[in-house]
């Protein structure tokens, strides 16, 4: 069995992954708050942990892996939208309107993530479906002395958990100084966080021992993961922005509610996304939803390829140039693998097993293409989620095999001419490619090419 090594944020090192229970791999990933379309940054953890899911299924078997990713459908932004719809005359109770809004945005989310080639998780729990489990967990924390009731709120007492801050590597003092903490007179400690809060008649709410109210954000994931995966499970994932306070708070409340469990064995976090070298922001005009890009004609497979080309623990920069390059590569690959029986090659599995090195896997796939190993290329593309049951319709047959073979032959001849210091022939091929409309880019992994608008096949063939 292939050895998988994953970077554990809690340990600050790569570790060999061994399931807590052989044959039963369990993953929980924090999902979206469903109040609007998923933006481009929201797509990164989806693709990262979909890749992990695919790798684990390949190595351990599809039936051995359980993946849960939640929907947060208890949120002030969802409430606000529902209240506006009710004020505009929409029929139904506030709870009905909130459910309608959540159904709508979850549908959008599924459509957009499906377009990126992401497999649906085995479980997609909604927070509103697990209120009972949350109330029971909060009551247990109160009984154990880890939470207290104050002015209709229930708060977790951070000082009751001695390991608070271990995941993020911060002291409580550092966290108070550097974080935005809600100042409230009923808190015993500024870092104490809300487990339950009261709801008035204008807000959704559920009955509880502390009155009608609704859960805080952090308790949702702790309750749902325990219900679906148990008190101890293998991997917990999400964006690096969730490490503190969300994941730190999850650990505290879960470990205090279930001291016999260990919660998550490995913590994985993906870095953030930029657009054209700048932080994505509406004020900068570089804020995109996934749907924005899809509607612009940028294919889901292209978005996925660009995301996979940067290691998940490094900041990723989305650029139009990267998207164009990715489309050119994928068109060539799709033509090569069309109708070919797929076989997953180990030289692509190995980099993926080394902490999801997608860039290394893509580099290996370029070599498979150059070597004409198209069955292995097809298998690798399936493993990375770039190829489904068939080549996508948009790929078409832009480049026929004769043209592709000729370009590859001429590129090999150019490389030999350079090696032999026959610069006249090498330069003639370079200039001939440009004149024929073949854009060649030399990279560390070898020459890559695409056809420019106005490609002249006769001019290319004249270079023989």
Binding site for ATP, residues?
A: 282
Backbone angles phi, psi at 286, to 5 degrees: -120, 30
Task: Round to whole Å and give the CA distance between 33 and 43.
Answer: 13
CA dihedral in degrees (382, 387, 391, 393; nearest 10)? 170
Residues in the chain: 464
85/350 Cα distance (integer angstroms): 52
DSSP string, 136-173: HHHHHHHHTTSEEEETTEEEE-GGG-TTTTTTTT--HH
Q: How far apart are CA 6 and CA 15, in angstroms?
A: 5
Specify the residue for token string 């949702």: 220
- Burial bucket for residue 287 (CB in 10 Å: 0-12, 13-18, 19+): middle
Contact of 452 with 437, CB cutoff 8 Å: yes
Q: State how far the Cα of 313 lies from the Cα of 268, in Å rounded to an integer.
A: 9
Neighbouring C-beta atoms of residue 61, cutoff 10 Å: 11
Q: Rounded to an integer, what distance in angstroms lies between the CA atom of residue 78 and that of residue 88?
A: 16
CB atoms within 10 A of CB 359: 16
What is the distance between the alpha carbons of residues 130 and 375, in angstroms, rounded to a whole number?
45
Number of other CB atoms surrounding residue 328 within 10 Å: 20
Give the residue numbers of the binding site: 30, 221, 246, 250, 282
SS3 397: coil
CB atoms within 10 A of CB 331: 20
Nearest to 158 by CA among 135, 175, 143: 175
Quote the CA–CA distance of 366 and 263 in Å, as a whole number. Answer: 40
Q: Beta partners for 153?
A: 150
d(CA 457, CA 399): 10
Can you tell me the distance from the alpha carbon of 374 to that of 347, in angstroms, rounded to the nearest whole number? Answer: 14
Q: Please, how many CA atoms are within 13 Å of residue 320, restricted to the half-sphere of its CB?
A: 3
Identify the DSSP state of 206.
Answer: B
Rounded distance between C-alpha atoms, residue 148 and residue 128, angstroms: 23
Cite the annotated binding site for Zn(2+) by residue number.
30, 221, 246, 250
């Amino acid at each position: 069995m292939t050895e998988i090594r994953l970077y554990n944020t809690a340990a600050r090192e790569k570790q060999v992954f061994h399931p807590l229970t052989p044959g039963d791999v369990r993953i929980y990933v924090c999902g979206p708050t469903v109040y609007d379309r998923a933006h481009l940054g929201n797509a990164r953890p989806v693709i990262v942990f979909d890749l992990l899911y695919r790798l684990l299924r390949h190595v351990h078997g599809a039936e051995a892996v359980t993946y849960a990713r939640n929907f947060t459908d208890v949120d002030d932004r969802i409430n606000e939208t529902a209240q506006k719809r009710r004020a505009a005359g929409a029929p139904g109770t506030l709870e009905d309107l909130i459910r309608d809004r959540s159904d709508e945005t979850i549908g959008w989310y599924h459509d957009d993530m499906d377009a990126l080639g992401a497999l649906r998780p085995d479980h997609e729990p909604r927070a509103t479906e697990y209120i009972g489990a949350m109330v029971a967990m909060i009551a247990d924390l109160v009984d154990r002395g880890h939470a207290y009731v104050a002015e209709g709120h229930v708060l977790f007492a951070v000082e009751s958990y001695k390991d608070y801050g271990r995941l993020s590597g911060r002291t409580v003092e550092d966290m108070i100084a550097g974080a935005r903490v809600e100042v409230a007179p009923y808190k015993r400690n500024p870092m104490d966080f809300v487990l339950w809060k009261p709801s008035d008649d204008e807000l959704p709410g559920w009955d509880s021992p502390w009155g009608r109210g609704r859960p805080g954000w952090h308790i949702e994931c702790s309750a749902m993961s325990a219900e679906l995966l148990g008190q101890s499970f293998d991997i917990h994932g999400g964006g690096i922005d969730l490490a503190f306070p969300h994941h730190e708070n999850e650990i505290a409340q879960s470990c205090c509610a279930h001291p016999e469990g260990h919660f998550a064995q490995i913590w994985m976090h993906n870095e953030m996304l930029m657009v054209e070298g700048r932080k994505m922001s509406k004020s900068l005009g570089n804020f995109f939803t996934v749907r924005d890009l899809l509607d612009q004609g940028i294919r889901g497979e292209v978005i996925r390829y660009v995301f996979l080309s940067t290691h998940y623990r490094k900041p990723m920069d989305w650029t139009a140039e990267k998207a164009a390059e990715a489309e050119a590569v994928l068109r060539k690959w799709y033509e090569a693998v069309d109708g070919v029986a797929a076989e997953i090659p180990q030289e692509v599995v190995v980099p993926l097993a080394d902490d999801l090195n997608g860039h290394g896997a893509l580099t290996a796939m370029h070599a498979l293409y150059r070597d004409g190993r198209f069955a292995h290329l097809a298998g690798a593309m399936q493993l990375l989620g770039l190829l489904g049951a068939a080549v996508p319709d948009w790929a078409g047959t832009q480049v026929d095999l004769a043209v592709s073979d000729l370009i590859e032959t001429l590129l090999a001849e150019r490389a030999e001419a350079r090696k032999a210091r026959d610069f006249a022939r090498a330069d003639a091929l370079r200039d001939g490619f440009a004149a024929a409309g073949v854009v060649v880019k030399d990279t560390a992994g070898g020459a890559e090419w695409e056809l420019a608008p106005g490609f002249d096949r006769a001019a290319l063939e004249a270079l023989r």
